[in-house]
Amino acid sequence: MDKLINTIVEAIQDKKGKNIISLDLSGFDGTICSAFVICNADSTTQVEAIAHGIEEKTEEVLGEKPIRIEGLTNSVWVAMDYGEIIVHIFQTELRDFYKLEQLRADAPMTRYESES
C-alpha cells in the first residue's frame, strides 16, 4: 500500500498538485478503504491532468489500474478508486468547501511537499 501511495503522490507532484495529504483509515471499522490521498489544483484542466498523470504513473511503475474513476466529466472533483486507496483531486474552491479531511480528523495524516 505504501508503494502505491508514494507513486500516487509523486504523480500529483509531477503535475503541480497542491496541499497533498494521505489519511490512514485502516484503524477504523466500516471504512470503504484503507487510505485517502487528497490534493487540489487551481483549474479543471489541472485536476484532469493530475488524474491522467496518476493513472499513467501507477500503471507504468506498479502495473496498477484504478477500479473506477468518477468526476472527469466536469473535473471539479475527481475520485479514483484503487481498492485500498481512494484518491480525491479537488478544484481548490471545492476542497475548501467540502473539507473532506475533516471527516476523519482523528485519522493519522501525512503531508507531502508540493513541487514548486
pLDDT recorded at residue 105: 86
DSSP string, 21-42: EEEE-TTSTT-SSSEEEEEEES
C-alpha cell recorded at residue 16: 503541480
**Which pTM was predicted?**
0.94
In a domain, 111, yes or no: no
What's the domain range around 83? 2-102
Reported as a single tens digit per residue, the pLDDT across 30-81 is 888 999 999 999 999 999 999 999 999 999 999 999 999 999 999 999 999 9
**Domain total of the chain:** 1
Average pLDDT, the chain: 95
Read off the CATH number of the domain in which 9 is found. 3.30.460.10
Helix (H) or strand (E) holding 112: strand 109-112
3-class state of residue 98 by DSSP: helix
User: In this structure, how many other beta carbons lie within 10 angstroms of the beta carbon of residue 53?
Assistant: 21
In a domain, 109, yes or no: no
User: In this structure, how many other beta carbons lie within 10 angstroms of the beta carbon of residue 65?
Assistant: 10
Confidence of residue 97 (pLDDT cuts 50, 70, 90): very high
Instruction: State what percent of residues in the chain have pLDDT above 90.
Output: 85
